[in-house]
Amino acid sequence: MAFISVGIDHEHAPLDLLERATVPEEAWGKVLGALLANANINEAVFVSTCLRTEVYATIDRFHGAVDEITATLADATGVPSEELASVLTIHFDRGVAGHLFRVAAGLRSAVPGEHEVLGQIRRALERADEEHAVGPELAELFRRSLGAGRRVRHETTIARGTTSFAQATVAMAERELGDELTGATVVVIGAGQLASGVVKSLRDCDANVGALVVVNRTADNAQSLVADAADARIVARPLADLTEVVRHARLVVAAIEAPDVVLAGRDLLDRQGDLLIIDLGMPRVVDADVDDVAGVRRLDISHLRDVVQHTLAERHEAVDAAVAIVDEEVEKFHEDRRSRGAAAIVGELRERLEHVRASEMARRRADFADFTDEQREIVESLTRSLVAKIAHTPTVALKEAAGSDRGQRLTEATRNLFDL
């Protein structure tokens, strides 16, 4: 079996397509089931975040698997196969580990070194395991990628400074508003992990905001975030109060996943002063009609690129060090995989040859009836030595070719020749 990854990401697909192709977690099980129903897919893990939607799988046939995965993604997202195919990123076999390890290390993130991606990869693996969609080969690939990601963050400085969407968002807000952010009222829509990061980054930023209002559909979640942030400036309000709350705000950050728009132009007609809105939702949760309201400016994930470029310039050495670690971990993974693959077929081959030797010795036992114990042991030793010498050349060939196309052909031939 070979690895494959097929998907779209922010480096190769426009934001509006990524937005349409995002699949909520409650639908992941259905996607995994549809993937495994295909003839060429044996195991699968489905990753869908705000900036990437990808399938990782073990497969039998490359082209058949690509077509099946593309069709499944089209069905799951509602995006036509032809439109997806024009921006798909495909990695095969050895290239899959290199890609996934870089994703886990934050080297493929909009914000280099961001830590949220590790949790996203871990959750994707857990969900695939819950759906019985992942087997030992793919699970090991994902576990090793998580280990590589943790090592990169521990051994390099890539995770220092602006290392998350939350921090990048606040850095962008500080750059856009400058002194206007000091003492200002800020509204954060949402109470999940991303919203929590935004609130804490705003709490700790140099601008010293005046008030932080957390608005969320579920009041208990908003209250929990406020309690965890532990700052008198931070309060919680229900989503029903959003129009009132934004009236006096200078900054609104939408950090929520929602199927529908939560803030539109009609909600801003009575506000006072200028307003900056940063929409981190995927799909976006702030209606584009807010752009028509005087004094309102809307930014989204695509505008974080300037922050990212600045971050990249600061972390050139850290990125190089991270790449070196990832390359090392990828090579270790492939070496271990080759060893595991070779060990299995070599073990089966030697077991088969030993079975033949032992069976033949048992069948000819009467021929050695007059032998002494010492003589019988000499015959046993001789036959074992012959079997070892016969097995040596195919063993070396299988080990050297393990993990390659040639190794797969040799393995298949060995199974056929020795009836394994």
- Whole-angstrom CA distances from 254 to 53, 81, 299, 370 are 21, 31, 10, 91
Query: Measured between alpha carbons, how far is 292 from 194 in angstroms, rounded to an integer?
Result: 28
CA-based end-to-end distance of the chain: 17
Give yes or no for a contact between 278 and 169, defined as CB atoms under 8 angstroms apart. Answer: yes
Residues in a beta bridge with 237: 215
CB proximity list for 67: less than 8 A, separation 6 or greater = none
User: Does the annotation mark 50 as catalytic?
Assistant: yes
Residues in a beta bridge with 251: 186, 276
Residues in a beta bridge with 317: none
CB proximity list for 138: less than 8 A, separation 6 or greater = 3, 43, 44, 45, 56, 57, 58, 128
Please report where in the chains the tokens 């070892």 appear, as a residue.
388
Query: Measured between alpha carbons, how far is 46 from 23 in angstroms, rounded to an integer?
Result: 10
Query: Measured between alpha carbons, how far is 195 from 222 in angstroms, rounded to an integer?
Result: 10
- Whole-angstrom CA distances from 347 to 333, 343, 384, 404, 412 are 21, 6, 15, 19, 15
User: Which one of the listed residues 2, 21, 50, 304 is annotated catalytic?
Assistant: 50
Single-letter amino acid, residue 66: V
Tally of CB atoms within 10 A around 249: 21
Tally of CB atoms within 10 A around 389: 9
Strands (E), 15-150: 41-49, 52-59, 89-92
**Which residues are catalytic, by number?**
50
